[in-house]
Structure 1
Amino acid sequence: MSKSLLIISRQAPWSGPGAREALDIALAGGAFDLPIGMLFLDDGVFQLSGAQQPASLQQKDLGANLQALPMFGVEALYVAQRSLEERGLHDHPETLAVERLDDAGLSALIDRYDQVITL
């Protein structure tokens, strides 16, 4: 039986390779039917904002990769409510169907997974 894996994405899509690497790991694991969840935390919540213009920063858009997560079987998607609030995004709709979690929910989520990777 495969161990479950939670990927915590903490970087904004334009701040370095971490956001793309987290998505790549999730997509690769999903392609092999591994039980994977993904949590957007801290600046990682900016990945869920639909108002991004990565071309102006000479970056690639991560939107297509995000939209592919459910197609690859990565449907357990979460976002930290506190991170959204701290960045003024609590009223903005996300580009994906994600479950918003409070601090207690985050702790319970992390405890449910066998392995956790933070990028």
Structure 2
Amino acid sequence: MAKSMLLISRHSPWSGTCARETLDIALAGGAFDLPIAMLFLDDGVFQLAAQQNPVVLQQKDLGANLQALPLFGVDEIYVCGESLVRRGLDSDSLALPAQALDAAALAALVDRYDLVITL
């Protein structure tokens, strides 16, 4: 049986390659039917913000990769509720449906997975 994996993305979409690499891992694992979930934490919640304009920063848009997650079997998408609030976002304004979790629920989530990778 395949081990379950939780990918934690903590970086904004424009702060380097970590955001893209985390999505690439999720899509690759999903292509092989691995049970994968994603958690967006800290500045990683900015990846889910709707209507981004990465061209201004001369960056590639991660929106297509995010929208492809469910197509690759990555249906469990979570976001830290506190991270959203601290950055002026709310779960209703995200480009992708994500379940907002509080601190206790985050700890329980991490305990559910065999492998936890933070990028």
* TM > 0.5: yes
Evaluate the alpha carbon distance shift between residue 84 and residue 33 of structure 1 in structure 2; reply closer, same or farther with a 3 A threshold. Answer: same
The Cα offsets for residues 14-66 of structure 1, whole Å up to 9 and x where unpaired, read as: 00100000000000000000000000000000001113110011100000000
Aligned equivalent of 1:65 = 65
Aligned equivalents of 1:118, 1:100: Cα separation in 2: 18
SS in 2 for 1:79: strand
Aligned equivalent of 1:18 = 18
Aligned equivalents of 2:91, 2:79: Cα separation in 1: 13
Evaluate the alpha carbon distance shift between residue 116 and residue 92 of structure 1 in structure 2; reply closer, same or farther with a 3 A threshold. Answer: same
Aligned equivalents of 1:7, 1:34: Cα separation in 2: 12
Aligned equivalent of 2:4 = 4
Unaligned runs of 5+ in 1: none
Cα offset for 1:105?
0.5
Tell me the number of residue pairs that the alignment of Structure 1 and Structure 2 aligns.
119
CA RMSD in angstroms, aligned pairs only:
0.9
Contact 2:91 2:98 in 1 (8 A): no
Matches within 5 A, 1:66-85: 66-85=66-85
Unaligned runs of 5+ in 2: none
Identity of aligned residues (%): 67
Evaluate the alpha carbon distance shift between residue 16 and residue 107 of structure 1 in structure 2; reply closer, same or farther with a 3 A threshold. Answer: same
The Cα offsets for residues 64-102 of structure 1, whole Å up to 9 and x where unpaired, read as: 000000000000100000000111112651111111100
